[in-house]
Structure 1
Amino acid sequence: MQTLVKYLCYLSGLLFSLLIAGSSNHLSSIGFWHVLNTKADPLQSYWQFPRYFSNNIAHLPRLTLGFLARENIPSAQYNYSLKLIKTNKNEQAKLFWLQSITYITHAQRQDLANLLLARARWDDLLLLKQQELLPKGDAYNHLALHTSNHYKRIPNAFLNDLGFTALNTLPASNSSCIYNVVMIGVHREGLYKLQSFTKQFNKVPEPQKGVFCFSKPVYAAGALECKNTLSMANCKWKNKALRGKVAKQFDYSVIMSKNGTANVMGKQMQLSTSANYHVFLHELMHFSGFEDEYTLPQSKQKWLCLKQGYVAPNLYISQGEPPPTGWHQSESCQQGGVAYKPSKDWSIMQYQQLGLSKRYRALWQKQIQQQETLTLD
């Protein structure tokens, strides 16, 4: 009998608790409805039902959310900051997410980081990282690429998902092309730029299909020392063994740094993210021996302009003899001999933005054939 009484008492208490909880949730939803649809005081309603409001606060109108955010309600500050970021009011948003950042969940910090990444708010992401509040994940890894962290510290799986690879996992060369070119970047923007160059090239391979194959972008920050300069882009290998490994596996290399003008020295091209595709194509033609048709540097003129005859597929230097038929004077040499070029008009080798003409594509194809013949011989 006593056991039955105890059981009935327990059951009555449980039903009463459920009734009270149900009533509380009902009252909470009514209070929230009044804030949404009447002029009920949002701050007073929030403090009456803080848990319910925090769970549903993102559904509040922007003005109400902003009011609660200014009243230092962390959940309101966080959600209001997201709305501000989405309308490009990033600095205003920062005032609110900074105040709420230590109160929000790990998942919410991840969502905030992804939103900041989508807006390229690198300084904000860096601030979160410095405060040890940036969760590990895509935004964390993208920031590492942007700030040129050492290539060994970047997860290979993350790089592979982006279509990149790291220097310690060099891609294999492609036997279907005459020349293999490794594309090397030392920061995030450079990797994406190299990727875009390759995609554009592969749509219309120059000077024809099967000549050049480009590797996926290789991340090599930490292995190269790049000067921050407005003059020629200049990155140097820190390790001769790594440089030798790359040179052995690939015919040419392209290195993209943050600063500097495009240039080619031997089998290595260097350029920065400011370069566009036509600049890249101009420099690629240097790999095949083409010469600039604008005024050459004085140091180069001193020896090149003393030569006679064809010094490049697109440059003939006369020391008094007639130039080839149909060729026209070039600005390349201002001392020594007189330089001539195949085209009367400007070409890609004089003004890069013009793009590649049919005449110069044919010259390039002829040069590739001659180089291949020499290699076979």
Structure 2
Amino acid sequence: MTQVKRFKLVGVLLCCLLITGSSNHLGAIGFWHVLNAKANVLQSYWNSPVYFSAHLEQLPNTSLAVLARNQISSAQYMYSLRLIKKDQSDTAKQFWLSGINELTISERKILAAKLFEQSRWSDLKLLASKNKLPAGDVLNHLKLQLKAPQSKISTAFIHDLGFSSLKNISKPNTQCMFNVLAMSDHRSGLYKLTEFINAYNKQPEPRENIFCFSKPVYVAGTLECKSNVNQVAKCDWQSSKLNDQLPEGFDFIVMMPKQGTANVTKGTMLINSKANYSVFLHELMHFNGFEDEYALPKTKQAWLCAQSGFVAPNLFVSHGESPPAGWYRAKSCQLGGIAYKPSEKWSIMQYQQLGLSVQYRKLWLKHLDMTNGNPYRHPSALIFANKATLN
């Protein structure tokens, strides 16, 4: 390269630097006027779009909103994040959705994380449907929420959340009288089961080492559960793909669908993910033979109330026989015999919200000590008997 060409190249570079510096200087001046002199933000933006785009975070909401409403994608993104932070996610949606095609992968990840923090599942589903939800934890959480088959979700991700996959269920605890396999087909169910198990472990009932629970197992795609809010929760165990995948050594199952009223069928509890802990404890007592002290379903009364004597640890049915001393009439049987219960007041078996009383804890322990749980223990986890009755 000749000396003359070198000088020309240096000259061009210097000019470029001067122009760039001048542009930044003009942009800074325009930006200052917007912040301090109420200059027209839209006009100032178009005078120096690069500078403004790099400094959007410094703009007040009013100025940022003007740019967003004028379809400037970077401003739409920034303004939507601010609205989401202020719990105005519905308003934010119109801005990020309008500019979604202009967002980088990094920006879409940030947006998705903010929407996830607000539990905006419908918005995340919309992003996914447009193929704009990047791969990662948020997408996996959405898959859990939408009950994607367990084969479609990373096993490592499920384990990192503290749950189990069907391929890696923890072994039963030999120190416990009963081992319970906990499972659900949706995200909130897994977290609710964890909440229940943690609450139980803080205060085991009726004492320690009676019930031990597995980590919640994600089973979507292997079991179909269909129930309405006010109907008894039901799952189609007979056609279940679970039958050949469940491990041996568990005495009971807790399955948590999204909807349906709680019930126990033999050794299988169904309880929805909106239930509270007292309902869970009530159902847990059904595992050991306790009966409801409110009016039982007529189909159950037809055979249970036809019996005599102790039909449950907390229920005595009389057909003229004298009830145990200190027992009181229950509402369980409206047909057949007369039912009696050990407490004059309402108990957890009549109204779950009352919690477990000292009297019923002692009754529970006495029953377990007498039977060692044998009438209710099942030989394996495959406890989906058709002839079982609902409690």
Q: TM-score, normalised by structure 2?
A: 0.91
Are 1:120 and 2:124 counterparts?
no
Aligned position for 2:190: 191
User: Are the counterparts in 2 of residues 36 and 60 from structure 1 also a CA contact under 8 Å?
Assistant: yes
Letter in 1 for 2:153: I
Are 1:144 and 2:118 counterparts?
no
Of stretches 240-249 and 128-137 in structure 1, the one that deviates more from structure 2 is 240-249
Q: Deviations over 1:209-249 (max 9, x none)?
A: 11111111111111111113231100123656732542623
**1:343 CA displacement:** 0.6
Of stretches 359-368 and 348-357 in structure 1, the one that deviates more from structure 2 is 359-368
Relative contact order (alpha carbons < 8 A, sep ≥ 6): 1 or 2 greater? Answer: 2
C-alpha RMSD over aligned residues = 1.9
**1:13 CA displacement:** 3.6
**Gaps (5+ residues) in structure 2?**
378-391
Aligned position for 1:332: 332
User: Are the counterparts in 2 of residues 223 and 239 from structure 1 also a CA contact under 8 Å?
Assistant: no
Q: Distance in 2 between matches of 1:157 and 1:30?
A: 52
Query: CA 1:238–1:156 in structure 2 vs 1: closer, same or farther (change >3 Å)?
Result: farther
Q: Distance in 2 between matches of 1:332 and 1:255?
A: 26
Of stretches 277-286 and 2-11 in structure 1, the one that deviates more from structure 2 is 2-11
Letter in 2 for 1:123: S
Letter in 1 for 2:36: N
Are 1:307 and 2:307 counterparts?
yes
* SS, match of residue 216 in structure 1: coil
**1:7 CA displacement:** 3.6
Are 1:352 and 2:347 counterparts?
no
Letter in 1 for 2:41: P
Q: TM-score, normalised by structure 1?
A: 0.94
Count of aligned positions? 375
Q: Deviations over 1:65-116 (max 9, x none)?
A: 0011111111111111111122222222111111110011111111111111
Of stretches 7-16 and 202-211 in structure 1, the one that deviates more from structure 2 is 7-16
User: Are the counterparts in 1 of residues 222 and 241 from structure 2 also a CA contact under 8 Å?
Assistant: no
Name the structure with the higher helix share.
1
Aligned position for 1:25: 24
Q: Distance in 1 between matches of 2:211 and 2:178?
A: 5
Query: CA 1:374–1:10 in structure 2 vs 1: closer, same or farther (change >3 Å)?
Result: closer
Q: Distance in 2 between matches of 1:321 and 1:64?
A: 84
Q: Distance in 2 between matches of 1:350 and 1:41?
A: 69
User: Are the counterparts in 2 of residues 134 and 140 from structure 1 also a CA contact under 8 Å?
Assistant: yes
Q: Counterparts in 2 of 1:264-343, with a 5 A limit?
A: 264-343=264-343
Letter in 1 for 2:255: I
Q: Distance in 1 between matches of 2:304 and 2:55?
A: 75
Q: Deviations over 1:31-61 (max 9, x none)?
A: 2222111122211211121112112112210
Q: Distance in 2 between matches of 1:59 and 1:250?
A: 59
User: Are the counterparts in 2 of residues 256 and 270 from structure 1 also a CA contact under 8 Å?
Assistant: yes
User: Are the counterparts in 2 of residues 223 and 237 from structure 1 also a CA contact under 8 Å?
Assistant: no
Letter in 2 for 1:24: S
User: Are the counterparts in 2 of residues 330 and 340 from structure 1 also a CA contact under 8 Å?
Assistant: yes
Aligned position for 1:177: 176
Q: Distance in 2 between matches of 1:112 and 1:45?
A: 27
Aligned position for 1:236: 236
Q: Distance in 1 between matches of 2:20 and 2:117?
A: 41
User: Are the counterparts in 1 of residues 288 and 373 from structure 2 also a CA contact under 8 Å?
Assistant: no
Aligned position for 1:257: 257
Q: Deviations over 1:104-156 (max 9, x none)?
A: 11111111111111111111111111111111112211111111111111111
Query: CA 1:95–1:374 in structure 2 vs 1: closer, same or farther (change >3 Å)?
Result: closer
**Gaps (5+ residues) in structure 1?**
none
User: Are the counterparts in 2 of residues 179 and 212 from structure 1 also a CA contact under 8 Å?
Assistant: yes
Letter in 1 for 2:271: L
* SS, match of residue 101 in structure 2: coil
Aligned position for 2:73: 74
Q: Distance in 1 between matches of 2:64 and 2:258?
A: 41
Q: Distance in 2 between matches of 1:320 and 1:95?
A: 72
Aligned position for 1:41: 40
Aligned position for 1:153: 152
Q: Distance in 2 between matches of 1:319 and 1:285?
A: 26
Of stretches 108-117 and 161-170 in structure 1, the one that deviates more from structure 2 is 161-170
Q: Distance in 2 between matches of 1:253 and 1:373?
A: 15
Q: Distance in 2 between matches of 1:209 and 1:373?
A: 15
